[in-house]
Amino acid sequence: MSAETILTTTRQFLEVDPMVRITIEPIKRGASGRTIVRVKTDSRDPFIGINWTDERPDNDFYPAVSDFLSKAGINVPELYHRDMRWRVVLVEDLGDKDLLSMKDEPFEKREPFYRSALQQLDKLFYTRGAKDMEFNPEFDEEMYGWEQEYFFDHLVDGLLEMDSSELRKSSELAALAKRLGKSARHLVHRDFQSQNFMLKGDKAYWIDFQGMRRGRQEYDLASLVFDPYMNHSEEDREKLLDLWEEISEERPVPQIFHECAAQRLMQALGAYGKIITKQGDDWYRQHVPVAAKMLGVVTKGTDLEPLLAPVIAKAEAFV
């Protein structure tokens, strides 16, 4: 019914009768519980149709966040039409080239797009929403704890079939959630990684921003630098941090940055575990060892290292 709902909404938007030819092509993108298609007609350029259910409440924020980001000068797809009754939006088609598609290109060719994305992240830091604007629940201690539970449930217990009981009782992980939850709060994209930047001209356009909420900016930065899809070398990670320092005129405090990275990587590993075991999408299997290795890097020498070491070792060997 999702594709049919998009088709019906498209006819209403274009004000055409059922005899007018409209074609839709499925687009597979991420795992956000949405149906995404490319809509083609004879009367105008293609555009993207998105439909979602009530299973993921964050998706309902898409139109409002889109409006907010557009007004703030952030590069996002133009929103042509919305129908919240049917949970459908029709937006600009930015093509098929995302940042992930440039994974094998030299850093110098990727740099302009990273620069574009990071310049916008810096702009977001200074942007404030209206007082009555609703966002998703903020990153507080409870939200960070939820991410850890997600990691325990779907990666440790689920995919790896290990016992997470000691992790669940861990004072170290509880302290991590508490520390990050007390931090200064600014707006964060929440899924700031290579699949969520479409490339057009020399600019990066943000997509999948419906999960935006208040939190630590370092969480977004860590998501980009320690992106398992891109699997940056240590040298490229430093280049990204140098670029961020050039743009923002500051470098993240290493401890806070690595703690945000650890938190983000646990969330990502939980997501991979869920998608593989519950949805049967094996494309994500290749990213489990990469994310686990990165988690080892950012927790090395901390009190989380001995606690997570057995899980990391098994995840790194996962095939």
pLDDT (0 to 100) of residue 43: 86
**pLDDT beyond 90 at 56:** no
Express each pLDDT in 195-246 by its tens digit: 999 999 999 999 999 999 999 999 999 999 999 999 999 999 999 999 999 9
pLDDT (0 to 100) of residue 17: 83
Express each pLDDT in 170-183 by its tens digit: 999 999 999 999 98
| Both tokens assigned to 243 | 């670029």
Neighbours of 180 (CB within 10 A): 23
List, in order, residues 6 or more apart from 149 with CB less than 8 Å away.
168
19 pLDDT tier (thresholds 50, 70, 90): confident
**pLDDT beyond 80 at 28:** no
In order, the DSSP letters of 196-233 are GEEEETTEEEE---TT-EEE-HHHHHHHHHT-TTT---
**pLDDT beyond 80 at 16:** yes
Express each pLDDT in 81-100 by its tens digit: 999 999 999 999 999 999 99
pLDDT (0 to 100) of residue 54: 87
**pLDDT beyond 70 at 7:** yes
In the chain the domains, ranked by start, together with CATH numbers, are 2-92 (3.30.200), 99-316 (3.90.1200.10)
Q: Which amino acid is at 195?
A: Q
pLDDT (0 to 100) of residue 139: 93
pLDDT (0 to 100) of residue 31: 59
What DSSP character marks residue 138?
P
Residues 142-153 have a mean pLDDT of: 97
Residue in 123, 133, 138, 120 with CA at minimum distance from that of residue 213: 138
List, in order, residues 6 or more apart from 117 with CB less than 8 Å away.
99, 192, 197, 204, 206, 224
Residues 144-162 have a mean pLDDT of: 98
Residue in 120, 104, 86, 109 with CA at minimum distance from that of residue 13: 86
Higher-scoring residue by pLDDT: 247, 29: 247
Distance CA 287, CA 2 (A): 29
pLDDT over 70, % of the chain: 97
Distance CA 242, CA 290 (A): 23
The helix/strand/coil state of 191 is coil
